Amino acid sequence: MNKQRQAEIDLLMRDREALAALIEQHDMVLNAIHAMPQMFYVVKNDKLLFCNRHLAEFYDLPEGVTAAGTPWSAMMEAILSTHLSDTDLSIEEMKAEVIRKIHDNGRFRRSWALEDGRHLVIEAMDCGNDTIIVTYTDVTALKNAQKKAEASERAKAAFLANMSHEIRTPMNGVMGMAELLCATDLTDTQSVYASTILKSGEALLTIINDILDFSKIDAGQMKLHPAPFSIAEAIEDVAVLISSRVSDKNLELAVRIQPDLPAMFVGDAGRLRQILTNLMGNAAKFTDEGHILAALSGEPCEEGYKLTFKIEDTGIGIPEDKCASIFEKFNQADDSATRKHEGTGLGLAITASLVNLMGGEIGVESKQGEGSTFWFTVTLPVHEGEEKPAAAPVDVSGARIAVIDDNDVNRKILNEQLTGWGYECVLYENGHEGLSGLREQVAAGTTPDLLILDYHMPGMTGADVATLLRADPAFKTLPIVMLTSVDEASGNSFLSLGVNAHLTKPARSSLLFDTIIRVLQKSASAKTEEEEPAGDAPAPQPAAAPKTETTPEEPASSGGLDVLVAEDNEVNRLVLTHILKETGVSFKIAVNGREALAMYAEHAPAIILMDISMPDMNGFDAARTIREAEAESGQHTPIIAITAHALKDDKDKCFAAGMDDYISKPISAARLKDRVIHWMRAAAEDAA
């Protein structure tokens, strides 16, 4: 009996101990719940079961409300009396909404901005047994931090756009004026000074572009603008750009494109060119002899084509231990103070970020002393649109070009450049003046063939002008080239404004020239296509091709080199290259009189186009030397002078030096073609 009683007592004692432990645990949990930074309450069967102290204190709830058994709606009402609701729902509707959301999604969640500036997140969950837990989390600090971060992002973007504008505007003045200066008659010393300003400007611009691009990537502001583009053109354009650097060294530059690749893809061609320019530029910089090969291959995949670009060089190579870190910012394989090659060390970091942005991969294989192969992949959709055959070049010389730019220096530079290239130029100082001026031109029957439009102008921006022009039927197809000093930080896509091309300032004159020709040619051939099928009436000449009647017939090719050009100025060389390419003759260009003599001896050209003022040996001396050499052989190669000033004195001097003809600058395409054809025929007849 005693034994049984003892057992009962033991059991009771154990139960008591278990109960005490349970109570202790319960108190602990309760204390923890009260101490929680979150506020919460529990309702069961539409009645309050429990509410933590933090909630009671936050809303200053009276004891009657926080006691178990209070109806849920009374609890809600007490809360809303402290902080006004930001909805129009009644208490019952709110409850119904919470229950419906829990039923549909397993939980209810919404954020609540209080009128004192604080932010709460309210969540409600079903815990079974008709029990719902409602939590209130104060996220004010988090929200404030987020707002601050967003404001700082916005400030960073605005600063970048601003800096870009503030830096590019004076750079445009420096580079543009230096380019114009180089194209004038200078003494040898002046010419060295002016081209040094230009070269230093170029070097500075590369650094500025790198830093601005890098900051843009760092701030997450770099965006891609995909559009259809020709992949071969993109690579070849870069190869042409690099070729001038390569030709100074003992280097071969080759491009290989897998022949069965589609011609057109959709991607950001500008950024792709930037990647290629950097990799091929590095290859040219770090290679002194051998070759540089840019190879493109690809294989079809679900999204289009996975393209692999490989840039192989036979240069100095990269030590194995540096290959991995070479894509990190500020990293250079040779970081010693005595290093031979200049650079910021940002190029590859930018390149890698751009490849990443395009969803591709980048890498390098290299052996020190033997060379490097940089590769990257990108997957691009194929452009399905029909592939247009390249339009036959249209003569766009003498076109009328309007300029709207608020900056005095810019207008001066553009005016000089455009008239120098033989274009007729009309200048406007702001959007309003430009719009009314353009309308007057249309009324007078002298609609411009192209508009160069500055983006950043006070009052009416370039974007506003473009939008207004595109809305006007008279200017729907007017080709527009936009010049910008602000990168597209605002996310504005210039193409969506209907502009045909956009260039970032300072735009090198060669690039501006190429762009103008490209846009004019495109617009002129589009007009011809439109007008041809019209039939009956004789088709009017495209506005940009006023001189088609002078388009020469095929020149009689000599079989050997047709034309030797001697010209020291880069821009003029470009102009001449364009015109001669259109004419279809073979030609080579010497950069001074002495080089012209050597090339004359080597290639025996049919005719020579000779600039007069050149460093080292001028055109007069070169012509005289050629005539002296010919005196023995009895040959006579026609020499056509290209003179900066069409003064009588100059012409006389040309003939006195033994030249046969002259063309004055600015070079008119029609006149040049006409003279080239004329003298090539004469040379052919002479030889027969």
Per CB under 6 A, residues contacting ligand ADP are 278, 282-283, 286, 313, 315-318, 326, 331-334, 343-349, 372
Residue 611: partners with Cβ closer than 8 Å, 6 or more residues away: 566, 567, 568, 569, 572, 619, 641, 642
CA distance 352 to 377: 11
Tokens of 609: 């186009």
Min. distance of Cβ 306 from ligand ADP in angstroms?
24
Token pair 């260039």 is at which residue?
503
Q: Which is nearer to ligand ADP, 206 or 415 (CB)?
A: 206
Tokens of 442: 């249309």
Min. distance of Cβ 247 from ligand ADP in angstroms?
18
C-alpha distance from residue 49 to each of 67, 68, 130, 347, 669 (Å): 8, 5, 11, 65, 92
Radius of gyration for the alpha carbons in the chain, expressed in angstroms and rounded: 38
Min. distance of Cβ 286 from ligand ADP in angstroms?
3
Q: Coil, helix or strand for 301?
A: strand
Tokens of 211: 């830093």
Q: Coil, helix or strand for 672?
A: helix
Min. distance of Cβ 316 from ligand ADP in angstroms?
5
- E-strand ranges in 64-212 read 107-113, 119-126, 131-138
Tell me the one-letter amino acid at 558: S
Element (H, E) at 313: strand 304-313
Q: Which is nearer to ligand ADP, 209 or 282 (CB)?
A: 282
Tokens of 487: 């990168």
Q: Which is nearer to ligand ADP, 313 or 611 (CB)?
A: 313
Torsion of CA 195, 197, 199, 204, to 10 degrees: -170
Q: Which is nearer to ligand ADP, 286 or 620 (CB)?
A: 286
CA distance 583 to 562: 11
CA distance 687 to 636: 10
Min. distance of Cβ 401 from ligand ADP in angstroms?
36
Min. distance of Cβ 344 from ligand ADP in angstroms?
5
Q: Are strands 131-138 and 39-44 parallel, antiparallel or unpaired?
A: antiparallel
Min. distance of Cβ 329 from ligand ADP in angstroms?
8
Q: Which is nearer to ligand ADP, 206 or 477 (CB)?
A: 206
Residue 109: partners with Cβ closer than 8 Å, 6 or more residues away: 101, 121, 122, 123, 124
CA distance 99 to 85: 18
CA distance 191 to 272: 35
Min. distance of Cβ 235 from ligand ADP in angstroms?
17
Q: Which is nearer to ligand ADP, 324 or 598 (CB)?
A: 324
Tokens of 227: 């559009």
Neighbour tally for 650: CB within 10 Å: 16
Min. distance of Cβ 376 from ligand ADP in angstroms?
13
Min. distance of Cβ 259 from ligand ADP in angstroms?
26
Q: Which is nearer to ligand ADP, 282 or 410 (CB)?
A: 282
Residue 137: partners with Cβ closer than 8 Å, 6 or more residues away: 38, 39, 120, 121, 123
Q: Is the dihedral of CA 35, 38, 44, 48 positive or negative?
A: positive
Q: Which is nearer to ligand ADP, 326 or 457 (CB)?
A: 326
Q: Which is nearer to ligand ADP, 198 or 318 (CB)?
A: 318
Min. distance of Cβ 326 from ligand ADP in angstroms?
5
Q: Which is nearer to ligand ADP, 312 or 488 (CB)?
A: 312
Min. distance of Cβ 334 from ligand ADP in angstroms?
5
Residue 90: partners with Cβ closer than 8 Å, 6 or more residues away: none
Q: Which is nearer to ligand ADP, 176 or 317 (CB)?
A: 317
Min. distance of Cβ 507 from ligand ADP in angstroms?
22
Min. distance of Cβ 284 from ligand ADP in angstroms?
8
Partners of residue 404 on adjacent β-strands: 428, 453
CA distance 427 to 440: 13
Q: Which is nearer to ligand ADP, 72 or 327 (CB)?
A: 327
Min. distance of Cβ 255 from ligand ADP in angstroms?
16
Tokens of 334: 């040779």
Q: Which is nearer to ligand ADP, 312 or 595 (CB)?
A: 312
Q: Please, are residues 451 and 421 in contact by the beta-carbon 8 Å criterion? A: no
Give residue number: closest CB to ligand ADP. 343
Q: Which is nearer to ligand ADP, 286 or 423 (CB)?
A: 286
Q: Please, are residues 375 and 360 in contact by the beta-carbon 8 Å criterion? A: no
CA distance 88 to 85: 8
**Burial class of residue 287 in the structure, from the number of CB atoms within 10 Å of its CB (0-12 exposed, 13-18 middle, 19+ buried):** buried
Q: Which is nearer to ligand ADP, 66 or 372 (CB)?
A: 372
